[in-house]
Amino acid sequence: MTEPPASWWIERHEGGARALSATGSVAAATPAELWRALAGAAGETPLHLLNAGATPISAGVARAATELANGELGAVFGRVRYLDGTLSGPQRKLELTRFLAVPPGAIITRGSALRRAAMVLANSWDSFWAADLANALRHTGPAAGSGEILAASATPAPPTARLPFARASLAGQGPADDGPLILVYGRLEASVSLYFDGLPAALGARLRFLEPGDLFSDMVWLAAASLVVVVRGFEHMYLTGTLRLLLELGVPYVWFTDDDLTALAAEQRGFDYYAPETLRSFTVGAAAILATSAPLRATLAPLHGNIIEWPLVHDAALRPDHLDTVRPLVAGVFGGAFRHRAFAEQVLPPLRERGIRTFANADLARGAAGVSPVPFEVSFRSFVFRWQRLGLRALLHPAGVSANMANKSPASLLAAAYLGAVPVVADEQAYAGLGEAQGVIVAAPDPQSWGAALDRLADPAEGERLYRRLDSWCRTAFDPEHARAPFARLAALALPDDDAHRAMRWQQAAESRVLQQALPRRSRFGIAIESLRRSLSRRLARTSR
């Protein structure tokens, strides 16, 4: 039977906060201190964290607690019903905690997860403590979103579910130094996490992350940023008018990509928008291009005179807690559909011959009898935490067929290190010059070579020896300190970043041509935007004094 969560109400006061329950209370000066103390008081009894005045909804709490117990999770994020009857948004995609204000009452967690979260929290107490905690829980362990309504709030719904731009950071309530605040704008998945999540704290504190919405929802964040990093696809910016807004405000943007989208456009229908002339039109206005490998930098060189090579960044928080060196050989395979043929012809036969338990993502598992499919995870951290629980000892990366192959980075090696597995990879440009000295097995394009690699890894001692080499090499090759130089080049492109300049850009956005053209005539939107314009004018006047 699932143990019911204990309700703890968080009361903030001058000098700190305290947590109250039916069985006792704990107090601390900072959130990190309180979560550590609360973890010690509660043990592994699930905790439901609420604001003073909020009421748990027992049916939703019970179902969420079952999810917590059955899923080997550290936390479940649900929904809250506000005083006016509206509901907070469902937390289905955990990456959204980077910029959405998860409300008090929406979190059920465990003591062990609270301890991990406390290790990365640097914020002091304010009204966004639950959002900070949700982001830290997502960052440090497995969590899940739920549609369950967990609490009834004693307050009305906030005007927006988004955090304030300057406040939305796991690393603290503002940048760690005087550098600019940079907005990473695009789909928040592996292409972002592999290159930005592990940055040194002082650099990470200067980043904000936003998934694109529409012109009205994104306007305030785009105007507040000193620089915008557009991640991969940018078609939405033409459709919503956000690119025109940046150009009108003079906010610089750079384009980050880990693939040659033109090559993909010739092969996959989903990329057919990214024709060469489209890329040229978009990048002519960019301040720089961020490319994730030296070959990709060379491929994109005709598009721009300022291309910054952006490195993979090792994230120590994703390293496995321990390795079970005597566990049986379990293999994992992941990659796009363009790797399916090599998987079926070269990798699958030796796996079947040896009866090795194998997990694969859906694109590769399709039609492969005996291979267990693993559901797709948009969040890279959720992907890592889910695959870590599979107990892999080998991570297989078969050859791909694409004109884009030469531009790839060795990101799969970093993923293997996070999963505690030895990578066996095809002989591709991304792994040129790598081998056993780095803990990598490079297989020839035939079943015999892949089978020989599997036979080696059947020996736990050999697998551990190679993995230790891989882990050491990844921590050195992808050391976060290597990102400081390219980050400095990026930050040098930013606008001045202070309250006065930000308020001025807000006012310009409210009066922008692109926004006025997007507004329906004589509508409530026009009235609202005029009110916003006047409010920003008053704020600017106060800031300028």
Domain boundaries defined on the chain: 6-165, 175-313, 318-477, 498-545
Q: Is 442 exposed, middle or buried (0-12, 13-18, 19+ CB in 10 A)?
A: middle
Q: Which residues pair with 394 in a beta bridge?
A: 331, 422
Q: What is the pLDDT of residue 70?
A: 78
DSSP state of 344: I
Which carries the bigger pLDDT value, residue 526 or residue 388? 388
Which of the four pLDDT bands, split at 50, 70 and 90, describes residue 526? low
Q: What is the pLDDT of residue 531?
A: 62
Residues 227-274: pLDDT tens digits? 999 999 999 999 999 999 999 999 999 999 999 999 999 998 889 999
Which of the four pLDDT bands, split at 50, 70 and 90, describes residue 174? low
Q: Which helix (H) or strand (E) holds 501?
A: helix 499-510
For residues 516-530, average pLDDT: 65
Which of the four pLDDT bands, split at 50, 70 and 90, describes residue 544? very low
> Model-level pTM?
0.92
Whether 21 shows a pLDDT value over 60: the answer reads yes
Dist. CA 147–CA 57, nearest whole Å: 13
Can you say whether the dihedral through the CA atoms of 29, 31, 33, 38 is positive or negative?
Answer: positive
Q: Give all strands (DSSP E) within 299-393, no chain letters.
A: 307-309, 330-333, 357-361, 371-374
Starting at the edge strand found earlier in the chain, the sheet holding 307-309 runs 207-210, 182-185, 227-231, 253-257, 288-291, 307-309
Dist. CA 119–CA 30, nearest whole Å: 12
Dist. CA 197–CA 207, nearest whole Å: 10
Q: What is the pLDDT of residue 545?
A: 39
Helices (H) and strands (E) in the chain, counts: 23, 20
CATH of domain 175-313: 3.40.50
Q: What is the pLDDT of residue 240?
A: 93
Whether 50 shows a pLDDT value over 70: the answer reads yes
Which of the four pLDDT bands, split at 50, 70 and 90, describes residue 490? very high
pLDDT more than 70, % of the chain: 93
User: Are the folds of 175-313 and 318-477 the same?
Assistant: yes
CATH level 2 (architecture), domain 6-165: Alpha-Beta Complex (3.90)
Query: Contact 177/461 with Cβ under 8 angstroms?
Result: no
Mean pLDDT (the chain) is: 91
Residues 337-357: pLDDT tens digits? 899 999 999 999 999 999 999
Which of the four pLDDT bands, split at 50, 70 and 90, describes residue 534? low
CATH of 318-477, one of 3.40.50.300, 1.10.3660.10, 1.10.1300.10, 3.40.50.2000: 3.40.50.2000
Which of the four pLDDT bands, split at 50, 70 and 90, describes residue 536? low
Q: What is the pLDDT of residue 543?
A: 42
Whether 518 shows a pLDDT value over 90: the answer reads no
3 state SS of 539: helix
Q: What is the pLDDT of residue 521?
A: 57
Q: What is the pLDDT of residue 89?
A: 87
